Structure 1
Amino acid sequence: MSLLRLEGVTRSVLLPDEGILEILRGVDLAVDVGDHVSIVGRSGSGKSTLLNLLGLLDTPTAGSIFFDDRLTSSFSANERDRSRGADIGFIFQQFNLLGGRTALENVMTPLLYATGRMFWRRRQVAMEMLDRVGLASRAQSIPEKLSGGEQQRVAIARALVRGPRLILADEPTGALDIETGVSVMGLLDDVAESSGAALITITHDANVAALARRHYRLDRGVLTPVDVGRVLALAAPEVTL
């Protein structure tokens, strides 16, 4: 059973001149529990639009999206918000940490919306997650005092602290140097695998995309599977994505 499934998904918008801009065209994708999928594409290929659909932030113009084999168009607004908060973790290129708040406070933030035991144990749970990403000793440091790699590790801890079943990583290494980026992706893959979460990495960096187990290319709104050799070939300077 797929955790997330897209069937014939399209997304288009009406332009001021009443023309139609087709952003996504007939996207099919199935992601299983524990899967690691990469999607690589140029700027303007539709990556951000696809991310919003995968994260239940938007709805398709046509086609179907299923989460746990349930059609997401049948979700109420509250169900969408609840599923997004509990089941989906977002990791972004710019970290989006709260300035002036400690690493621990940043990781605790999603737990303020938890209920029951998770809410009352939020400090302990956040500390355990920081320890898991190797930053327990930096728990009281504010983002301004952390390196780029450390900030991204805090962002990963924050995204995983509620135990999401699906992790969406949007250009997760774009603000990092190559060595730190490889380290962060290795950590993200390890933590996702150990928790049984599915991981979707959306990136323009073919080297990062190649670290996944299954690979796709998004080009002019069309999503197609590619093998790892093709992904790495796309990293050549003359074909920058």
Structure 2
Amino acid sequence: MSLLELREVTRTVLPPDQPALTILSGVDLTIEPRDHVSIVGRSGSGKSTLLNLLGLLDLPTSGEISFDDAPVRRLSTARRDRLRGAAIGFVFQQFNLLQGRTALENVTMPLLYSSGRTFWRRTKIAADMLDLVGLGHRLHSMPDRLSGGEQQRVAIARSLVRGPRLILADEPTGALDLDTGQSVMELIDEVAERTGAAQVVITHDPMIARRARRHFRLDRGILTPVDDPTLEPRTRREVREMAPAEATDAETDVDAVVGEAG
């Protein structure tokens, strides 16, 4: 049984006084338990729209989304919200931590919506999760006293504290330097391995995407599988967004290709 499946999914919006705009077209994607999938796409490719669909934040214009083989469209908004809260953890580029609240209080927040034993043990569960991400010594630190990498670790702990079955990471290293970004991705991989969660990482960075076991590229709303995202054609903008050391070599390659084409 698949965890999450998209079949012929299309998403169309109607801008004011403009023709209908198709953002996603015929997307097919199956996520299995413990899967690790990366999706590479530049700005405007439909990544945010796809993330909203994968996270059950939105419904497709056409096509079908199933979770545990059950059609999501048949769920009420309230049931979809409960399913998302229990089964899906989001890791964003922006940390979105509550200022004026300690690391422990930030991670405890999602557990306030739990019930029974989990609710009463929420502080211990949150503390254990922070210890798991290497911040057991910073439980009572405020966000403004933490480094960028530490803030992202708190955000990861908060997203995983309820034990989600699916982790959706949206440009999780975009606000971090190269070394910190790599350590954060290693941490997400480690936690996912321990908890048995599936991962979907959406990024513009082919090197981050390469850490996954299955790779896809999203371009103009069309999702296609690729063998190695680092070998796929890149635009000049994608080259500029990459790490400086890699960008130097890659931009030379791009210029050479452009020169030959010219």
AA partner of residue 220 (structure 2): R
Deviation at 1:205, TM superposition (A): 1.0
Identify the residue that residue 146 of structure 2 maps to in structure 1: 146
Residue aligned with 1:208, SS = helix
Identify the residue that residue 161 of structure 1 maps to in structure 2: 161
AA partner of residue 187 (structure 1): L
Distance 1:17 1:210 in 2: 41
How many residues matched?
Answer: 239
Identify the residue that residue 238 of structure 1 maps to in structure 2: 236
Q: Is the 8 A contact 1:234 1:240 kept in 2?
A: no
Deviation at 1:26, TM superposition (A): 0.3
Deviation at 1:235, TM superposition (A): 8.1
AA partner of residue 181 (structure 2): G
Distance 2:225 2:85 in 1: 29
Deviation at 1:100, TM superposition (A): 1.1
AA partner of residue 86 (structure 1): A
Instruction: Determine what percentage of the aligned residue pairs are the same residue.
Output: 66
Distance 1:43 1:68 in 2: 31
Deviation at 1:41, TM superposition (A): 0.2
Deviation at 1:238, TM superposition (A): 3.4
Distance 2:122 2:236 in 1: 48
Larger Rg: 2
Deviation at 1:237, TM superposition (A): 7.2
Distance 2:70 2:236 in 1: 42
Distance 2:218 2:77 in 1: 29
Structure 1 residue 182 corresponds to structure 2 residue 158 = no
Distance 1:132 1:78 in 2: 32
Identify the residue that residue 54 of structure 1 maps to in structure 2: 54
Q: How does 1:88-107 map to 2 (within 5 A)?
A: 88-107=88-107
Residue aligned with 1:2, SS = coil
Structure 1 residue 9 corresponds to structure 2 residue 9 = yes
Distance 1:105 1:198 in 2: 26
Output one character per residue of 1:150-196: Cα deviation in whole Å (capped at 9) or x when no partner: 00000010000000001100000000000010110011011011111
The structure-2 alpha-carbon separation of the partners of 1:235 and 1:97, relative to structure 1 and needing over 3 Å to count, comes to farther
Output one character per residue of 1:52-94: Cα deviation in whole Å (capped at 9) or x when no partner: 0000100000000000000000111111010011000011001
Identify the residue that residue 172 of structure 2 maps to in structure 1: 172
Segments of 5+ residues of structure 2 without an aligned counterpart are: 240-262
Output one character per residue of 1:201-221: Cα deviation in whole Å (capped at 9) or x when no partner: 011111111111110000000
Identify the residue that residue 115 of structure 1 maps to in structure 2: 115
Q: Greater relative contact order (Cα 8 A, min sep 6): structure 1 or 2?
A: 1
Distance 1:40 1:128 in 2: 33
Distance 1:51 1:165 in 2: 16
AA partner of residue 240 (structure 1): E
AA partner of residue 41 (structure 1): G
Output one character per residue of 1:82-127: Cα deviation in whole Å (capped at 9) or x when no partner: 0011000011001110011100000000000011100000000000
Identify the residue that residue 73 of structure 2 maps to in structure 1: 73
Residue aligned with 2:230, SS = helix
- CA RMSD between the two structures: 1.2
Residue aligned with 1:240, SS = helix
Distance 1:192 1:33 in 2: 11
Distance 1:239 1:38 in 2: 20
| Structure showing the higher strand proportion among its residues | 1
Q: Is the 8 A contact 1:40 1:209 kept in 2?
A: yes
Q: Normalization by structure 2: what TM-score?
A: 0.89
The structure-2 alpha-carbon separation of the partners of 1:237 and 1:180, relative to structure 1 and needing over 3 Å to count, comes to farther
AA partner of residue 84 (structure 1): R
Segments of 5+ residues of structure 1 without an aligned counterpart are: none
Deviation at 1:236, TM superposition (A): 5.9
Distance 1:59 1:238 in 2: 33
AA partner of residue 203 (structure 1): T
Deviation at 1:18, TM superposition (A): 4.2
